[in-house]
Chains A and B, each alone.
Chain A
């Protein structure tokens, strides 16, 4: 899926009388199917906000986002839910697994809201978990898993529905090198093997170096391409 953003901007209102904070300003971005795009920049440069806007996790302040030809940034709430559930997979730095669900149920959560048949989704989930080496942990709760295991479970959840767009926000930020490599390899494989568009926010130089393209942000603006 081709992702195109034009003139993206985001301003957060100031708290307690403080002036508004312009987090992103006039960002243009293109990512093609099968491409891994790295977004790098210092803390506070607006990387995560950009990813949130691209993932329809918060409304754009200015500009627009298109998935292929569809102007998804301006869809209604319900339609955006559908897009999030079927076309986007998220991998978060803090995993964001639900503490009350087992590893398997966390993975299956991705199928719950898009109307997938449970048995078929469970078959896919188990296959994914086996490939990522966490099948034996399927009945455990997040608190019983290591950081590496939690991120692999979160990754399984992100790709369960085979979304054409994968967004990863510092997916290796809380992992050691070995587990980080597993996740990065998986993300690259998603782009290479099934043509997913992968947009990766990272501070790891090795991750950025192996990306097909790199976008550098500084103070909310595009620094270089």
Chain B
């Protein structure tokens, strides 16, 4: 039983790590496929996610006129920690300035689910809604205060776990994000002060939504061709790019999953078959007393089922305890290593029961090929 439990704990723990990586990659993919991200042309060192230059109000108005565009939502996305690279990354903590109260332009993330508190509302200033990992790593909760530079934000909500980029967001009103940006970037402040820009021009990018039935990749190319001086990401291409850049993690995921299956499966199958072979003498005695192959198979399958279910239950409990213990430490750094998804748990139970049954059936059929006398001899 302990052998099975340990094997299943390994399977579940490794599987939970694979699930965590998988959810992160899937989430990122889902995000980029849900919107067309547009930035100004060039390399805007202040802008985080889109890594482009300023996207002015005039440019956004041009984008809005492109046939097929449903909504153009200005955004300011800034890295919280300015000492780190501001270029494309899915793991850094970001200050995300959005139009409060408006639904997100992203088709796959119209709203982000809240764990506690409330979302940003129209007219809100000086408040923030945090991703769950962001809140954990900064030890913030609803009612706490987040300081970014010289500005303070009262935390009004914590998002539910998404296991992807928004977990590390601090969402604020667009105007607040513009203030942070101006205070942080002296060059931008000087240009702004000279009257060359208005506040409406201070956007690191825009999320563009499309009308129903419109091909987003074709629309993105149309925007690129129609509007000069913008940097457009093609959702399909970015998705492919992301998949290519995460190919190593995908391969790792397959490797970890395979390893987990092999280790857990071997442990379970070995324990069940060993348990059957250990009782070879008993099977000989039972056959001497009239048990048919079917009788024995039914008995062994019943026992294997019980042992597998208990083993997998204890293994699951062990893995969850270990996972939560590890995560309780790593979450302080904003990292979650394990994700015990319902599909992982369901798969593990089905896998254990099926494999346990198969191993038991195999061992029983091997034994029933022996005569009762031979089984008694070998087991004595």
Contact = CB atoms under 8 A, between A and B. Distances in A.
A90 B380 CA distance: 16
B289 interface: yes
Nearest to B296: A113
Contact of A110 (B282, B287, B289, B292): B289
A94 to B, nearest CB: 7
Given A59-B371, A96-B281, A113-B289, 5 more contacts: A57-B376, A92-B376, A109-B285, A113-B286, A157-B289
A58 B374 contact: yes
Interface stretch (A81-89, A127-135, A173-181, A208-216): A81-89
B31 to A, nearest CB: 57
B351 to A, nearest CB: 28
A114 B290 contact: yes
B289 A77 contact: no
Interface of A: 52, 55, 57-59, 77-78, 81-82, 84-86, 90, 92, 94, 96, 98, 100, 109-110, 112-114, 157
A58 B372 contact: yes
Interface string B39-83: 000000000000000000000000000000000000000000000
Contacts of B290: 81-82, 84-86, 110, 113-114
Nearest to A157: B289
A173 to B, nearest CB: 14
A128 to B, nearest CB: 15
Q: Which of A55, A81, A94, A109 is the most central at the interface, judged by chain B CB atoms within 10 Å of its CB?
A: A81
Interface of B: 281-282, 285-293, 295, 371-374, 376, 380
Contact of A113 (B282, B292, B371, B372): B292
B373 A109 contact: no
Contacts of A109: 285-286, 289
A55 B288 contact: yes
A81 B283 CA distance: 13
B368 to A, nearest CB: 9
Nearest to B371: A58
A85 to B, nearest CB: 2
A4 to B, nearest CB: 21
Contacts of A58: 371-374
